[in-house]
Structure 1
Amino acid sequence: MPDYNFYDNVYDVVRLIPAGRVTSYGAIASYLGSKQSSRIVGYAMMACSNANPPVPAHRVVNRQGMLTGKFHFRGDTMEQLLQNEGIQVIDNQVQNFRELFWDPAIELDL
């Protein structure tokens, strides 16, 4: 059974990612003090479609900038949402990933 409190914490962090930036499942898990839970962050992203307020799950990618969650969006929706924010995606990978990477541990200044 999923830990919905953890999911809510994930959603709170993801809602803080600015448009035009991306982060990784692992960075969110680490920020929440559960470094080994990046897969659970992924599960939270899969379950967020009805979350209110909405969760910009398209801004969460894997540690190499790959759109590994794109199959949970319809068609190329994830890529289109990122491109609408000025993020270039080629072959399912965010270009300039290091420059666009948003690390909650730094940006939210524990």
Structure 2
Amino acid sequence: MASEKPPDTLDDYADAVLDVVERIPPGRVLAYGDVAEMLGAGGPRQVGRVMARYGGGVPWWRVLRADGSPPPGHEVRALEEYRVEGTPLRPDGRRVDMRRARWDGRP
């Protein structure tokens, strides 16, 4: 019988997602799908699952929906972080301007 990892154990994919998120500079963001693309594995839902489960210890507000919307349920806190970091926002002030804020992966 194969033994299963405890549910709170980070697997390699989760560890890789969190590593990418930790490298996003202040004032820059990536969409969930951008993170998956950088890793060459998974997709937006898998990245979202990792962030929901393990993302509390990394700058989670820097990973958002492709339309610039903050993570669901965390909009107020995320918008505070965007303002502190100087992340470019859309004119509505409730979404990130992805064209200007998307990180290209360079240091």
Range class of TM-score, shorter chain: 0.7 to 0.9
* Residue from 24, 27, 32 that aligns with 2:34: 27
Question: Which residue is equivalent to 2:78?
Answer: 78
Tell me if the contact between 1:70 and 1:78 (Cα under 8 Å) persists in the aligned partners. no
Quick one: which amino acid aligns to residue 78 of structure 1? A
- Could you say what secondary structure the match of 2:27 adopts? coil
Question: Which residue is equivalent to 2:58?
Answer: 55
Give the gaps of 5 or more residues in structure 1: none
Q: Once the 2 structures are TM-superposed, how far is the Cα of residue 65 of structure 1 from its aligned partner? A: 1.4
Question: Which residue is equivalent to 1:93?
Answer: 95
Q: Once the 2 structures are TM-superposed, how far is the Cα of residue 63 of structure 1 from its aligned partner? A: 1.5
| Residue-by-residue CA offset, 1:40-91 (whole Å, 9 max, x unaligned) | 10111111255xxx31010011112121x131x3x61111111111123635
Find the aligned partners of 1:94 and 1:77 in 2 and give their Cα distance: 14
Root-mean-square deviation (Å): 2.3
TM-score (norm 1): 0.75
Q: Once the 2 structures are TM-superposed, how far is the Cα of residue 103 of structure 1 from its aligned partner? A: 2.9
Task: Tell me: CA distance 1:83–1:70, structure 2 relative to 1, closer, same or farther (3 Å).
Answer: farther
Quick one: which amino acid aligns to residue 83 of structure 2? Q
Larger radius of gyration: 2
